[in-house]
Structure 1
Amino acid sequence: MNKTVLIVDDDPIIRLIIQNMIHNLDSSVNCHQCVNGEVGLTALETLQNSTDIIVVLLDINMPVLNGWGVLDGLQKINLDSFNKFQLYIVTSSIDESDKITAQSYPVIKKFYHKPLTKQDIEEILNSH
């Protein structure tokens, strides 16, 4: 089964590093870089009814629409229309309240701190 990963982060270097790490582990993964949450939500809408496993790596602090805004916006998207949907928070935030807030969203599979390690990427790619 194919995997599509949305890297939703405003930092182009972070997006590139994560994409390269993913492709080094599995070159068949289709990566989309999204510069903010609004772009990420639009990309998700276009992926509805895809047969791919959809993995979202979501930053919290971004301009235009932040990670919390994306999570709230997901309520307008029928997540059941995805074959398999996984969402991970990937943030540089060390604010404990962010971790607590993340726990209130059942769609979040895990909370990661930047930078992601090779082991983190392997864990994300292999959990389905």
Structure 2
Amino acid sequence: MNKAIVIVDDDPIVRLVIQRMVHNIDSSITCHQCENGEVGLLRIEKLQNITDYIVVLLDINMPVLNGWEFLDRLQQLNIVASDKFKLYMITSSTDASDKIKARSYPVIKKLYPKPLSKQDLKEILSSDEMP
């Protein structure tokens, strides 16, 4: 099965650390690093027809297209309703309004605080929903 993780975060260190943790847990998963929501959407559009399963790890605060704008534009893609697509929000925000707003997007499976721990990532990758 062809699995991909799309890491949408403007911090290159965060992206690199997550990618290394993913490869330590399961080296068969392909990681795609995207520095903002615009790049992330383009990557997902390309991947939706060539991968069996896509997990998105999405930051909130980014330049160009932030996490909320990304989610609004993502709703227009048919992939959101697919069982092969899962999205998790990762953020350093401690603002309660961000947590409330995240709950208003059904596509978000769970919100994780930064830094994402290896245990968090194992939870995401071993989710009952992930084939």
Moved over 4 A (4+): 80-83
- TM-score scaled by structure 2? 0.93
1:8 alignment partner in structure 2: 8
Q: 1:4 to 1:30 in 2, by over 3 A?
A: same
For residues 18-56 of structure 1, the C-alpha deviation after alignment (integer angstroms, 9 at most, x for no partner) is 000000111111000000000000111111233421000
Contact 1:58 1:90 in 2 (8 A): yes
- TM-score scaled by structure 1? 0.95
Pair 1:22-2:22 in alignment: yes
Alpha-carbon RMSD across the aligned residues, in angstroms, is 1.3
Residues 16-95 of structure 1 aligned to structure 2 (within 5 Å): 16-79=16-79, 82=82, 84-95=84-95
Structure 1 segments unaligned to the other structure (5+ residues) = none
Structure 2 segments unaligned to the other structure (5+ residues) = none
- What SS is found at the alignment partner of 2:87? strand
| Identity value in percent | 68
Distance in 2 between the 1:49 and 1:81 partners? 14
